[in-house]
Amino acid sequence: MIRLVVDASVAVKWLLPESHAEAASRILNSKHELLAPDLILAEVGNVIWKKWRRREVSGDVAGDLLRDFYRYPVQTFASRALMIAAWGLAEQYDRSFYDSLYLALAIHAGCPLVTADLKLYNRFKGGPLSESLVWVEDTP
């Protein structure tokens, strides 16, 4: 079984028809153990709220999407336990604390973070943390 940390940019694609949704869906198979900081719940909820606010989805659909998210096999970890490591990454690499929580979990778990966030991916590809990050289309 391959362990992967997934961020909200990937998880949202399981729920909504977006670019790279097919690649994100391939991650949802039995050969992957999926991990995320509990922050993923708030981030996915916020994306759905934004879609509702822009009238891209109805309130009923938004509620259904949130309920659907629970069926995905993502094991969440308390952000509290990752905060100090995340702060170190945020400070050292000038990344958001949110992104750094995902990176801290990937480093702690010894597995890559899969992202569909191009800015995050481009920031680290070829650098010292490049082995801790995988583009959604390149997931094993």
Q: CATH code at 46? A: 3.40.50.1010
CA 66 – CA 48 distance, rounded (Å): 8
Task: Please state, rounded to an integer, the average pLDDT across all residues of the chain.
Answer: 94
pLDDT tens profile 9-64: 999 999 998 999 999 999 997 789 999 999 999 999 999 999 999 999 999 999 99
pLDDT at site 46: 96
Q: Over the stretch 74-121, which tens digit does the pLDDT of each residue have? A: 999 999 999 999 999 999 999 999 999 999 999 999 999 999 999 999
The Cα–Cα gap between 12 and 136 comes to 12
- In this prediction the pTM is 0.92
Long-range contacts of 121-129 (CB under 8 A, 24+ apart): 123/93, 123/95, 124/93, 129/93, 129/103
Kindly give, in sequence order, each residue whose CB lies less than 8 Å from that of residue 123, ignoring residues fewer than 6 positions away: 93, 95
Question: Domain total for the chain?
Answer: 1
- What is the extent of the structural domain holding 63? 2-138
Antiparallel, parallel or unpaired: β 113-115 and 133-135: parallel
